[in-house]
Amino acid sequence: MKKLTMEDLVNYCKQYGFIFQGSEIYNGLANSWDFGPLGTLLKENLRNAWKQKFVQENKYNYGLDAAIIMNPKVWVASGHVASFADPLIDCKKCKSRHRADKLIEDFTNGEVTADGWSNEEIEKYIAEHNIVCPVCGKMDYTPIRKFNLLFETSIGVTDDTKNTVYLRGETAQGIFTNFKNVERSMRAKVPFGICQTGKAFRNEITPGNFIFRTREFEQMELEFFCKPGTDLEWFGYWKNYCMDFLRTLGLDSEKLRMRDHAKEELAFYSKATTDIEYLFPMGWGELWGIADRTDYDLSVHQEHSGEDLRYLDPETNEKYLPYVIEPSVGLDRLLLAILANSYQVEEIGENDTREVLKINPALAPVKVNILPLVKKIHGEKATEIYSELCKKFSCSYDESGSIGKRYRRADAIGTPFCITIDDETINNNTVTVRNRDTMEQEVVNINDLEDYIVKAVTL
Ligand code: GAP
């Protein structure tokens, strides 16, 4: 089978309505992407799968939907205003711009990461290893400058610095600032977690690789509050929980790996951090970051807000700031992994291939494709069945072309079931259900159809 490239994926996504270039009729805006009808459905299914696993099925966790624009003091307290920055370096010869830490990462095929290094350490490594400009091949760089990733805007009618606010750079801060609200209102006992999904914004220096790194993306974050001393145990629990979830979604185990951050790579407040990486078409890349953040976040917000954010343990009467375990994953990046993992051009017999998205049926944008065998004869019955099934599942209706062609169109977008309505449906109340993966057909009574599909598309 031919190795899938990112270009193949971009073309596939455009052709079938998953993802389009943003502002395309104006020649686009670099690295901005719009989710089309199928991309929207897939994104929603993934978000719901995460919510189901992390909120609904987990007895410790609650949901939250905090504001995107927060009091700017939040971002001062969290350290983002002072140090949420990437090391920017320019090539003096060809004027191309790079993230200096990425130059090292790419040069070493991800073996060395410069997270947490000073500018001087990065410059020294680049010089000592003769890491040339990937665009022109020369070795003539400017000194590194720090470039803050927060997007600034202002509220109110006057545009002065007093009104400066930020588009959130991560969803996590809305969770920390609501720690006490959730604890009180839900009478939550530590350990407990708060989950949030939503857009985050970063003025990335080097966005790219399709939707892998963009300036506007959606995160799905959990901040899990636990008693200091129990944190490493919970860190292990959440690492396994996340890995388990990815496998349930259908990502191949051999394309997943955990990378523990070395001591010198850890943020100063972090006791342990692990990235779950996926083998994307362009190579291994971070999919999910899981960090033991100690009590750093609650302590800085306590200090800056003046509010007591400590937890009173009702059993021991002890007051303490909980430690936080944070599993944080990008929804767009997960969607990219799912598409890359599922898309295939499959050989089906001599000189014949089919495009098929072998996606977990629970995530498939369209669950059922309804096909009247002959439009004039079976159209009415097919419409009737469509009207019933679409109340429960996302369905499509296809009456044009041969059945074989209609199957292929459904396979290409990952629809798990094609249901053919024919004379048997009218005479015997049965339909023919064709399975996307096995391509086998089964006769099912209409009365059993809903249960049949529910079973197959439930995670
Ligand atoms: N609150 C912690 C945090 O935001 P992060 O490692 O910066 O940590 C977490 O981001 C996850 O968000 C990443 O593992 C990745 O999946 C996703 N992500 C981060 N930056 C992104 C970007 N520019 N484009 C798309 N996804 C991104």
Instruction: Kindly state if the Cβ of 301 falls inside 6 Å of ligand 1.
Output: no
pLDDT band at 277 (very low <50, low <70, confident <90, very high): very high
Residue 300 Cα to ligand 1 midpoint, Å, equals 21
Residue 160 has pLDDT above 80, yes or no: no
Q: Residue 119 corresponds to which tokens in the numbers above? A: 């500018």
> To test the ligand 1 pocket, which listed residue (19, 286, 293, 325) has its Cβ within 8 A of the most ligand atoms?
286
Options 2.130.10.30, 3.40.190.150, 3.40.50.720, 3.30.930.10; CATH for 6-69+167-339 is: 3.30.930.10
Residue 302 has pLDDT above 90, yes or no: yes
Stretch 294-317: mean pLDDT: 98
Q: Write down the H helix ranges in 250-330.
A: 296-305
Q: What is the pTM of this model?
A: 0.95
Residue 304 has pLDDT above 80, yes or no: yes
Query: Distance between CA 298 and CA 80 in Å, rounded?
Result: 15
Residue 110 has pLDDT above 90, yes or no: no
User: What's the pLDDT score for residue 159?
Assistant: 63
For 382, left (φ over 0), alpha (ψ -120 to 50), or beta?
alpha
Residue 113 has pLDDT above 90, yes or no: no
Instruction: Kindly state if the Cβ of 323 falls inside 6 Å of ligand 1.
Output: no
User: What's the pLDDT score for residue 162?
Assistant: 76
Stretch 152-159: mean pLDDT: 83
**How does DSSP assign 301-322, residue by residue?**
HHHHH-----EE-TTT--EEPP
Contact (CB, 8 A) for 190 and 226: yes
Instruction: Kindly state if the Cβ of 295 falls inside 6 Å of ligand 1.
Output: no
Stretch 137-161: mean pLDDT: 89
Enumerate residues 6+ apart whose C-beta is below 8 A from 328.
170, 172, 219, 220, 221, 222, 288, 289, 290, 291
Residue 135 Cα to ligand 1 midpoint, Å, equals 26
The radius of gyration of the chain from alpha carbons, rounded to an integer in Å, stands at 25
Q: Residue 198 corresponds to which tokens in the numbers above? A: 């939503």
Give residue 324's identity as a one-letter amino acid code: V
Segment 306-364, tens digit of pLDDT: 999 999 999 999 999 999 999 999 999 999 999 999 999 999 988 899 999 999 999 99
Residue 385 Cα to ligand 1 midpoint, Å, equals 43
Residue 420 has pLDDT above 70, yes or no: yes
Instruction: Kindly state if the Cβ of 330 falls inside 6 Å of ligand 1.
Output: yes
Stretch 398-411: mean pLDDT: 96
Segment 63-100, tens digit of pLDDT: 999 999 999 999 999 999 999 999 999 999 999 999 99
Q: What is the CATH code for 366-457?
A: 3.40.50.800
Report the b/e string of 24-52 with b at 16+ CB within 10 A: eeeeeeebebebbebbebbbebbbebbbe
Stretch 302-307: mean pLDDT: 98
Stretch 401-411: mean pLDDT: 96
Q: What is the chain's mean pLDDT, rounded?
A: 96
Ligand 1 closest atom vs CA 334: 16
pLDDT band at 404 (very low <50, low <70, confident <90, very high): very high
Segment 91-101, tens digit of pLDDT: 999 999 999 99
User: Which residue CA neighbors atom 25 of ligand 1 most closely?
Assistant: 213
Portions of the chain given CATH number 3.40.50.800: 366-457
Residue 330 Cα to ligand 1 midpoint, Å, equals 6
User: What's the pLDDT score for residue 2?
Assistant: 81
Portions of the chain given CATH number 3.30.930.10: 6-69+167-339
User: Which residue CA neighbors atom 18 of ligand 1 most closely?
Assistant: 330
Segment 226-261, tens digit of pLDDT: 999 999 999 999 999 999 999 999 999 999 999 999
Instruction: Kindly state if the Cβ of 277 falls inside 6 Å of ligand 1.
Output: no
